Amino acid sequence: MQIEVIPLKPVEPTVEHQYCQWLRNLYEETWNKILTAFDNSSIKIQTQALSSSMNILTCEGRYPLEQKGLLECYIPLNRLKLILMKILSNKQHNLHLIVKFEEYLLYDDMLFYVWKVLPSLTAKSNPNDIYIMNYLLFLEKLQVKCNNEARTLCTSGGMNTDFNFDETTVKRCLNKIWNCIILWEHTPATHKQLLIVLLEKVLPYLDKPLLLTDFLMDSLDVGGPVSLLALQGIFTMIQVYNLDYPNIFAKLYSMFEPEIFHTKFKPRLFYLADLFLSSTHLPENLVAAFAKRLARLALVAPSEDIIIICMFIGNLILRHPGLKCLLNHSIGGTTTNDPYIMEERDPLKSNAINSSLWEIHTLQNHALPNVATAATFINNPLPSIEWDMSKVLESTGDNIFDKELKRNCKMVALAFDKSNKFALSKCEKVFNYWNFY
Amino acid sequence: MVGSKKKPNKSSERSHKPHIKKKLNPFEVHINREKLKVLGKKNKNDRGLPGVSREKALKKRKHTLQQEFKLHNKANRFVDKRIGEGDVNMTEEDRFIARYAKLKSKHHKKSIFNLADEEVLTHKGQALSEIEKFEDTKSDDDESIEGDKIGNLDENFVDEAHFGGGVLKRTGIDGAKSHKDLIDQLIAESKKRKAEKQKLKEETLELTEKLDSEWKDLLPLVNKTKSTKATPELEKADEYDKTVKQLKFEARGTPSDRLKSEDEIAKEEREKLEQLEKETTADDLEDNFAYESDTEVTLSYNQEGEANLVLEAELNGKTILPKNDDKENEGSDEDDKESVSEEESEAEDDLSDLKGSESVSESENEYFSTNTEDKIKPEAIRDDLLKRKEIMDKAREELPYTYKFPASYEELQLLLQFESSERQFMILERLIKCNHPSLGSNNKENLNLLFAYLLQYINDIAEVKTIEDISKCFSTFSNLVPHIFNLAEMSPLNAHTLVLDVLKEKHQCYRKHKLAYPDIEVLLFLKLVSCVFPTSDFRHVVVTPAIVFIDQMLNKCKVRTRRDIAYGLFLTTLVLEYTTLAKRFLPSAINFLKGILHMAIPKAGIKLIKICPPFKTSSNALVLCNNCNESTISLTMNVSYLLNGEIDDEFKMRAIYLSSCLLKEFVTNFAELDSSYEIFSTIMEYINAIPMNNYPVEVKEKFKSLEEEINRIKSNRRLKYLTVAKPKPKALRLYEPRIEKVYDTKKRRIESREKAEQNKLLHKLKRERKGALREIRRDNAFISRLRINEQIQSDNVRKAKVRKLLSDASIQQSELNTLDRKKKRKK
């Protein structure tokens, strides 16, 4: 291959040229100033800096300073890189900037070049957690596929059908990035975020997802939401990539702890558990252990979750008719102690199948009427169709409150014993235990 | 028309029916042949009487159509207006009678001008109407019976004088008398007899009258003897009868004042207050006090109906002694005042015997109706009474007795704001009494408004900063509650909606900051809910949202500061209050108490003791580090902890003590539940983990009893395996007759009821129309037959006439011919 060297002509110091030079210097100076504005403490200024810099970038893309090369679409990559470096800062959380930047990612060309630039910006060694957090949040926003509307930013028309969004290139970039990321040291927060990104964005595009198995297994042991997310990952692996994981149900079982109701991931857990236990070929004592454990948890759970649990247990019994012995003991009779062992880690050994769902029976005395009615399902014959949990999974106490208000019962009733001044009514407790003076 | 469905007259029907049956001519019966014979099917139309029915129709037409036809095209007609002529029911005789009666009545019609024409029936010249009075019966019959004998002459005399006696009797002596003598003797004799008779009659009359008068005098004597005869009989009646009689006539209940209706009571109370007000204002005139409601007082009247002004004058005229004593001496008629004075005097005399007078004073005291059933210690009662006495004294001294209804909330706030809680109680009481719904039409709305104001007021008093504020706030609240309850009783629906609205509003506020406990007023409102509404209902419009609200707070709110802990504990107490009666279970309350206990466990580095959020696993906030063994403070929780502040040892002890108390109550409440031990099992762990050394004895004992209670539950419980209720055994199959459905070939369209009805009607219409057309056709035939008959008849007449004319003419001709012939012959 021959490279024709064209000797550079010495630039003629004309006035026009000088002016051009001056303008360019000014431009560079402005650019630098805008970039420094990213470090400003005010969020407003930072956001403004981002939008300004992106505007400049767009303009430069449309009207390039240098002669346009062979590329049909030109984006000044060095400038883009600088902007991204500012966004992926290791000093401050830049969520607002990332959210703002999402607007630009709707353009195919911008998305593509960001993917292209990103591997070079990925830290090779262990970065600090702020950087990781920013990076993961940013990654969460990035799409792998091109947008539905093929729009481009840096072309004069705004619409350019010529631009070719090369998905394979993007995937390669993604894999490159992921290989770096997985090696970083993660704090619990970033670990969680990493799993979210993995599950929602990355997993389907990875070349060798089975390599993640170890990572997921390690995550599974962390506990809390992290393990829940890992569980979901493993479920996908099992489902799609034929992963065989021996003790998965014990893991799932151990995840049902009272704390779970107070995390954001509660609906996800129920959703997953529903999926895992949807198979009708599971051993009965295993499913019974789940049902029994859930019932125990219902004794401490918030009201809205008790309703979910009741439905869940109902569905389990519907799927596994063998569990009916939990509601309808074959012999009857009495016992002094619940045969179920709550502390046992292994669901198969928990002896749940010999127990009964006394907890649900207890919950029929719940103070909230709709919880109490939800618990009455054990008295009635089971329906032929499963309960639909999707509606109640996201419900909160507010929903229950609103529902009670909407009930709009016309019946009015006042307390039967009049409380007099010294409030000595029959079930008066506050005045017994509290001193007012 | 013939086809009209007029019912024939019953009598005629009756007379016809046997007639037809008798005359059923077998040749007249037409039998309709059946094509298909169906068993058990009733056929109405199997035989017909064509001749009979035709005849019937003809007859009917003759009566109707023919008559009409006859009068066709006639300008006028004859109408038979004789009485009963058209009436079929009347027989000939009836008609005659009716006509005759009519005639008579016409004849007897009284003319108002002809006065003399009055027929008066008489008997012996007297009008019958006069005689019929039957006043004097004796005169008449005496005369009629004896008149003949008395007035007339003797039989012998008549024989002799009139007919000359006989041949044999004519003797010389007799003959000597001349005829004239004889006549004179006769007349004298007759007169003498008459006079005698008259005299006798008068005598008897006199005697009768005398007897009558004497009899009247005697009458009381006769009666007396009768009554004296009856009395010994009564005395003779035995004891049993007497008691029965006594019981029978004993008064079953003495009439007393009827129970006063609520309205009346309200009115009385208002009047009473006005009266009191009047008096105080009268006093105040001396004291140079001025009250807002001064003007209102002038309008009021006292119970005797005297105008207020007069009373004032009276009071002013008197030299008024120091107030209270003076009034007591006057012995005012107000009940409550009396009771107060009683209380006062007794309180001054001897406090110990107040207990005895408790019932009296309480029954009289209308202001504070405490339930005496409650077990109140005597000391408490005494304190109560003393307190009340003080309240009454103060109130009487200073508070006006009547209040205008506040026009706005600000007015009410102004009225109450700076008063002590007890006085607020009084003010409200009076305000409500003065505006009782029975006293005015719009008072009900006013009180509804007052309810809303009070809720707002509670909201406002709960804005507190200092300890004094909060204790005042709570005592004010407890004073307001009875009034709120009363108001709620007056219009329950209003109370429901208002309280529910408040809850909604507070919940909306809470939603904005879900992790922090809201302000204190929420506690007050929740407490109010438990006071006013029934907490034991399975579902209640107000209570259920309130529980949801509490549940949410206990689940979500972070527990960090002293205020959070106290707030949560208050809520838990409320939960206990809400759930005690129905023994319902709320996990969040137990969780909260667990969390409090957990906070008291000192956490070592390695071993993690689990606890549910919102508590933190590592919290040590309530660990009691100093030894408080000897501490003697009261362990009751204080509302002042609801304010922000440091967690000190006292608070720690109190919080732990309170939670253990509450837990114990919960444990006893839930003892019956199946999973009671599972609910409380973690608490056992916590209790064992809390170092007990530092706590006072009372706390230790409480814990011990709590532990025992839980253990007792564990040992006592009997878990019944759940079994589904067995379905009822199926009844044996009975051999009932097998009923097969019969399918007829008729197609039955499935249609809506309206449509079916309409189709039915259309079908009926079609048939009716067909029938009507047929009848019209027959009518036409009948009429044409009539016409033809008429024509034929008239033709026949004409023919006859023509024939007659022709014959006449031919006769004439023949005569002419004969004449002609004769003439010819003559010629």
Q: Which residues of A touch B537 (CB under 8 A)?
A: 413
**Highest averaged pLDDT of the listed ranges A99-113, A355-369, B101-115, B167-181:** A355-369
d(C-alpha B220, C-alpha A46), whole Å: 132
E strands of B12-164, at which residues? 30-31, 47-48, 122-123, 126-127
Residue B158: partners with Cβ closer than 8 Å, 6 or more residues away: none
For residues A184 and B772, which has the higher predicted lDDT (pLDDT)? B772
CB of B381 within 8 Å of a chain A CB? The answer is: no
Q: Flag if A434 and B531 touch (Cβ within 8 Å).
A: no
pLDDT digits (tens, 9 = 90+) for B288-328: 433 433 333 334 444 444 444 433 434 444 444 444 444 44
Average pLDDT on B477-490 reads 83
With CA atoms as reference, report the closest residue to A159 among A83, A114, A84, A106: A106
Closest in A259, A365, A413 to B540, CB measured: A413
Taking the whole predicted model, whether its pTM rises above 0.95 is answered as no
Q: Which residues of B touch A404 (CB under 8 A)?
A: 544-545, 548
Coil, helix or strand at residue B721: coil
Burial B366-376 (b: 16+ CB within 10 A, else e): bebebeeeeeb
Region class of B289: left (phi > 0), else alpha (psi between -120 and 50), else beta: beta
pLDDT above 80 for B97: yes
Q: What percent of chain B has pLDDT over 70?
A: 71
d(C-alpha B118, C-alpha B112), whole Å: 11
Chain A 312-331, CB below 8 Å of chain B: which residues? 326-329, 331
Closest in A334, A365, A421 to B718, CB measured: A334
Query: Residue B305 class from Cβ within 10 Å (0-12 exposed, 13-18 middle, 19+ buried)?
Result: exposed
Type of residue numbered B292: E
Q: What is the pLDDT of residue A239?
A: 78
A and B: number of Cβ contacts within 8 A: 237
Region class of B99: left (phi > 0), else alpha (psi between -120 and 50), else beta: alpha
Q: Flag if A429 and B573 touch (Cβ within 8 Å).
A: yes
CB of B555 within 8 Å of a chain A CB? The answer is: yes
Q: Flag if B369 and A420 touch (Cβ within 8 Å).
A: yes
pLDDT above 50 for B142: no
Q: Flag if A420 and B548 touch (Cβ within 8 Å).
A: no
Residue B643: partners with Cβ closer than 8 Å, 6 or more residues away: B464, B465, B466, B467, B470, B563
For residues B226 and B127, which has the higher predicted lDDT (pLDDT)? B127
Interface confidence (ipTM) of the complex: 0.75
Residue A294: partners with Cβ closer than 8 Å, 6 or more residues away: A256, A309, A312, A313
For residues B219 and B173, which has the higher predicted lDDT (pLDDT)? B219
B355 CB neighbour count, 10 Å cutoff: 13
Q: Tokens 């009598």: give the residue.
A: B11
Q: Flag if A361 and B370 touch (Cβ within 8 Å).
A: no
Q: Tokens 């407790």: give the residue.
A: A429
Token reading at B749: 């369209």
For residues B664 and B379, which has the higher predicted lDDT (pLDDT)? B664
pLDDT digits (tens, 9 = 90+) for B22-59: 667 888 888 888 888 888 888 888 888 888 899 999 99
Q: Which residues of B touch A423 (CB under 8 A)?
A: 478, 481, 531
Q: What is the pLDDT of residue B817?
A: 94
pLDDT digits (tens, 9 = 90+) for B700-728: 888 889 889 888 888 888 888 888 777 78
Q: What is the pLDDT of residue B258?
A: 61
Distance linking the first and last C-alpha atoms of chain B: 76
pLDDT above 70 for A417: no
Spatial contact of A71 and A105, defined as CB atoms under 8 Å apart: no
Q: What is the pLDDT of residue B783?
A: 93
- Which string of DSSP letters, residue by residue, matches B729-742? PPPPPP-PPP-PPP
Range with the lowest mean pLDDT among A399-408, B164-173, B580-589? B164-173
Token reading at A43: 């969020």
Residue B608: partners with Cβ closer than 8 Å, 6 or more residues away: B617
CB of A343 within 8 Å of a chain B CB? The answer is: no
With CA atoms as reference, report the closest residue to B569 among A427, A433, A280, A76: A433
- What secondary structure letter does DSSP report for B581? T
pLDDT above 70 for A361: yes
d(C-alpha A315, C-alpha B674), whole Å: 23
Average pLDDT, chain B: 75
Q: Which residues of A touch B678 (CB under 8 A)?
A: 296, 299, 338, 359
d(C-alpha A288, C-alpha A306), whole Å: 18
Burial A386-407 (b: 16+ CB within 10 A, else e): bbebeebbebbbbebbbebbee
Coil, helix or strand at residue B720: strand
Closest in A366, A397, A415 to B533, CB measured: A415
Q: What percent of chain A has pLDDT over 70?
A: 87
Q: Which residues of A touch B590 (CB under 8 A)?
A: 300
Q: Tokens 């002016």: give the residue.
A: A19
* φ, ψ at B301 (rounded to 5°): -125, 150
Q: What is the pLDDT of residue A66?
A: 66
pLDDT above 50 for B368: no
Best interface-test mutation with B: which of A395, A414, A424, A431 has the largest number of B CBs within 10 A?
A414
Distance linking the first and last C-alpha atoms of chain A: 99
For residues A426 and A326, which has the higher predicted lDDT (pLDDT)? A326
d(C-alpha B823, C-alpha B827), whole Å: 6
Q: What is the pLDDT of residue B4?
A: 45
pLDDT above 70 for A91: yes
pLDDT digits (tens, 9 = 90+) for A130-155: 888 888 888 887 777 777 666 676 66
For residues B102 and A125, which has the higher predicted lDDT (pLDDT)? B102
Chain B 745-784, CB below 8 Å of chain A: which residues? none
Q: Residues B496, B497, B501, B504: what is their CA dihedral angle, to the nearest 10 degrees?
A: 60
Q: What is the pLDDT of residue B780?
A: 95
Spatial contact of A327 and A389, defined as CB atoms under 8 Å apart: no
d(C-alpha B121, C-alpha A416), whole Å: 87
Q: What is the pLDDT of residue B768?
A: 97
Q: What percent of chain A has pLDDT over 90?
A: 0
* φ, ψ at B407 (rounded to 5°): -75, -30
Q: What is the pLDDT of residue B750?
A: 80
Q: What is the pLDDT of residue B816?
A: 93
pLDDT digits (tens, 9 = 90+) for A261-288: 887 778 888 888 888 888 888 888 888 9
pLDDT above 50 for B346: no
Q: Flag if B719 and A424 touch (Cβ within 8 Å).
A: no
Q: Which residues of B touch A366 (CB under 8 A)?
A: 584-587
Average pLDDT on A163-182 reads 79
Closest Cα of chain A to B334: distance in Å? 23
Q: What is the pLDDT of residue B611?
A: 77
Closest in A257, A332, A366 to B723, CB measured: A332
Query: Residue A347 class from Cβ within 10 Å (0-12 exposed, 13-18 middle, 19+ buried)?
Result: buried
User: Looking at chain B, how many residues does it have?
Assistant: 827
CB of B557 within 8 Å of a chain A CB? The answer is: no
Residue B278: partners with Cβ closer than 8 Å, 6 or more residues away: B297, B300, B302, B308, B311, B312
pLDDT above 50 for B361: no
Q: Which residues of A touch B504 (CB under 8 A)?
A: 405
pLDDT band at B331; cut points 50, 70, 90: very low
A322 CB neighbour count, 10 Å cutoff: 14
d(C-alpha B611, C-alpha B617), whole Å: 6
pLDDT above 80 for B262: no
Residue B658: partners with Cβ closer than 8 Å, 6 or more residues away: A433, B569, B573, B635, B636, B637
Average pLDDT, chain A: 79
Q: Which residues of A touch B669 (CB under 8 A)?
A: none
pLDDT above 60 for A79: yes
How many secondary structure helices (H) and strands (E) does chain B include? 30, 6
Handedness of CA B233, B239, B241, B247 (dihedral sign): positive
Burial B34-55 (b: 16+ CB within 10 A, else e): eeeeeeeeeeeeeeeeeeeeee
Token reading at B731: 């009844």
Q: What is the pLDDT of residue B496?
A: 86
pLDDT above 80 for A419: no
